[in-house]
Structures are given as structure tokens and as C-alpha cells.
Homo-oligomer: A and B are copies of this chain.
């Protein structure tokens, strides 16, 4: 439908262990025209991380200047490091008609909503609490207290699901990606997103 000139802004969140990174990566592989926004951060790159691929690594001064220039759609400070979603690239992509994915946490997502009410908010969820526990334990690399802490955080994160529009149940990757695709197709068919096209009939 050519009438949708602007792309969709897709905000994806989900608790640790739900697999949102994997679901987004697979969706992007099948929809190479969709743009995944890359966050900026002031934390130092870890081994193997590349600037402009995992993050844009910038200095605290650069970050603060960008805040002052309204250059972030949302930003936050965790553990002494700043993280944010640069505005320019996202808006450029949306304007050119490309869909954009922001893979961000709950507080960031809510800031996006206040500024982009037409964005679509998706929350990736595991099939059950037990399955989430299995996945967190299954990594096998963590101590029991670390797992308990993660699970507690996941429960808090899940309590925010009602702030989103859709859940993407990640029981298996194939079905989860199909659901993601169906939501994108359906949102593009919303009457509210097709005003110009509908008006062409009158």
C-alpha cells in the first residue's frame, strides 16, 4: 500500500531470557529493509564489540552535548554509564518509509510512547514462568543467587506487559517471528494509518 509513506516505529522489549534479541535478529534477516536502531553509550567497548555495530561508543561530554541538543529519543543512566537512542537516524529512516526497530527496556519505551504515540509496542514473553526459569538456569554459567536476581528482575519486567500493545509469545522462534510479521502487516492495514488512501475514494 503506497499510501503509507512513513515507516512504522516498532518498540520491542521483554524480560531477560524471553529471547527478544533472537526474535528481532531473525525478523531483521527476513526483512532486510527494516532498520535496527543502534544505541549510543558512554561505557567502554567490551572485547569484540565494534563501534557502530553493537553501539556507538561516545564520550560522556559528547553524550551530554547530544542530550542538550535534543539528540536522543530516550536516554538513561545505568551503573554510571549513559545509554540512549539517537534521534536523527531513526527519523530519517521513518521519513523514507522504512520500518524501524528499537530494542529497548521498559522505561525507555515509555519515553518513546509519549513522543511517538503512533509507535507500536511489542513485548516478547516466554511461554511460562517455569520455562523462563529453565532458560535462565540452562545457560549453566551463573551462580544460584545471580539466577534468583535475574528471575526477580524478569518478574518486574513482565509486570509492565500491560503498558504494551502486543505480546509476542516466544515458544519457538519460527512462530514468534511469524507473529511479529503478522503484527507489522496488520498495523499497516489500520484505518488510522491509511487516511490518505481512504480519502482518495471520496
Number of copies: 2
| Chain B residues near A146 (CB-CB < 8 A) | none
Known: A167-B194, A194-B167. A189 touches B200 (CB 8 A): no
- Contact of A161 with B198 in the complex, beta carbons under 8 Å: yes
Known: A191-B123, A191-B162. A179 touches B169 (CB 8 A): no
User: Is residue A148 contacting chain B, with contact meaning CB distance below 8 A?
Assistant: no
User: Is residue A185 contacting chain B, with contact meaning CB distance below 8 A?
Assistant: yes
Interface residues of A (CB under 8 A from B): 1, 123, 125, 128-129, 155, 158-159, 161-162, 164-169, 178-179, 181-183, 185-187, 189-191, 194, 197-198, 200-202
- Contact of B166 with A189 in the complex, beta carbons under 8 Å: yes
| Chain B residues near A123 (CB-CB < 8 A) | 191
